[in-house]
């Protein structure tokens, strides 16, 4: 997958993308990440990319010309049929694991990162969709772009060490992940559940499913409304709810 990020601050991406899983994905040729600075497409010798907003107000707004020219450059120099342009903005659809899986099927993703007070509204015409990582405002779109690239990369074959890793992540199937344990077996009186040493993979899978449901019920019950649940799952949740009511 090729990823292009249009950002005024390309150095912000060096740390997150030059280490760990993302770096290995690039080394293995699974990811091909490019950062494009819209200043390089400014019309004037001072490389201005922003201006004060019409109608008054504080802050500066990103001008449309550099962004449009940057996108024209990408269109002329890359030729991927399955391409998606994503605008980073707090008023966009909230990014999710479902969206990460949707985006992982594209050959090229282009992230448009705003900064300062925001974009000239005409820049939104360049995007296929507008995305956010939450209901809060950040200084720019760089951090959201990093988050989304990391989440999408995990969905690509060969990026993770084990093909089983992604499907067990929280949110992958609409639920939070079950508790994980490793050595030592006992620590400060806290013991690993015995079921994990049973060797019975079916029982372990059933335990993990129940614990995933329990964790989701306790921390993010809103997720259960959209999760794909079996009758057994619903009975378990009903029992959890009954116990919670009894404790009140």
Q: Tens of pLDDT along 103-145?
A: 999 999 999 999 877 899 999 999 999 999 999 989 999 999 9
Nearest to 1 by CA among 43, 42, 30: 30
d(CA 43, CA 47): 7
Q: Rounded to an integer, what distance in angstroms lies between the CA atom of residue 67 and that of residue 79? A: 19
Q: What's the whole-model pTM score?
A: 0.87
pLDDT digits (tens, 9 = 90+) for 199-240: 999 999 999 999 999 999 999 999 999 899 999 999 999 999
What domains can be seen in the chain, in order of their start residue? 2-153 (3.40.1280.10), 170-246 (1.10.1270.20)
Do the Cβ atoms of 146 and 41 come closer than 8 Å? no
**Mean pLDDT in the chain?**
93
The Cα–Cα gap between 192 and 186 comes to 6
pLDDT at 165: 52
- Which residues are marked as active site? 90, 117, 154, 169
What tokens were used for 7? 């950002």
- Looking at residue 248, what is its pLDDT? 78
Residue in 219, 196, 210 with CA at minimum distance from that of residue 238: 210
Is the pLDDT score of 171 beyond 70? no
C-alpha 238/C-alpha 246 separation (Å) is 12
Task: Return d(Cα 4, Cα 33) in angstroms, integer.
Answer: 6
């Amino acid at each position: 997958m090729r990823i292009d990020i249009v950002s005024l601050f390309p150095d912000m991406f060096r740390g997150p993308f030059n280490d760990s899983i993302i770096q290995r994905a690039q080394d293995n040729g699974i990811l091909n990440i490019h950062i494009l600075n819209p200043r390089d497409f400014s019309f004037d010798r001072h490389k201005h990319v922003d201006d004060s907003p019409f109608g008054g107000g504080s802050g500066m707004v990103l001008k449309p010309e550099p962004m449009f020219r940057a996108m024209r450059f990408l269109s002329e120099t890359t030729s991927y049929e399955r391409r998606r342009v994503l605008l980073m903005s707090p008023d966009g659809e909230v990014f999710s694991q479902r969206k990460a899986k949707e985006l992982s099927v594209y050959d090229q993703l282009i992230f448009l990162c705003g900064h300062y007070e925001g974009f000239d509204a005409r820049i939104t015409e360049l995007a296929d969709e507008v995305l956010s990582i939450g209901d809060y405002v950040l200084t720019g779109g760089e951090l959201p772009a990093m988050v989304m690239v990391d989440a999408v990369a995990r969905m690509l074959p060969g990026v993770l060490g084990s093909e089983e890793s992604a499907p067990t992540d929280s949110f992958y199937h609409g639920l939070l992940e079950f508790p994980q344990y490793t050595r030592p077996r006992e620590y400060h009186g806290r013991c690993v559940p015995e079921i994990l040493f049973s060797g019975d993979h079916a029982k372990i899978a059933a335990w993990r499913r129940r614990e995933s449901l329990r964790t989701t019920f306790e921390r993010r019950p809103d997720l259960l409304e959209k999760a794909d649940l079996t009758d057994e799952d619903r009975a378990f949740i009903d029992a959890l709810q009954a116990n919670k009511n009894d404790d009140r």
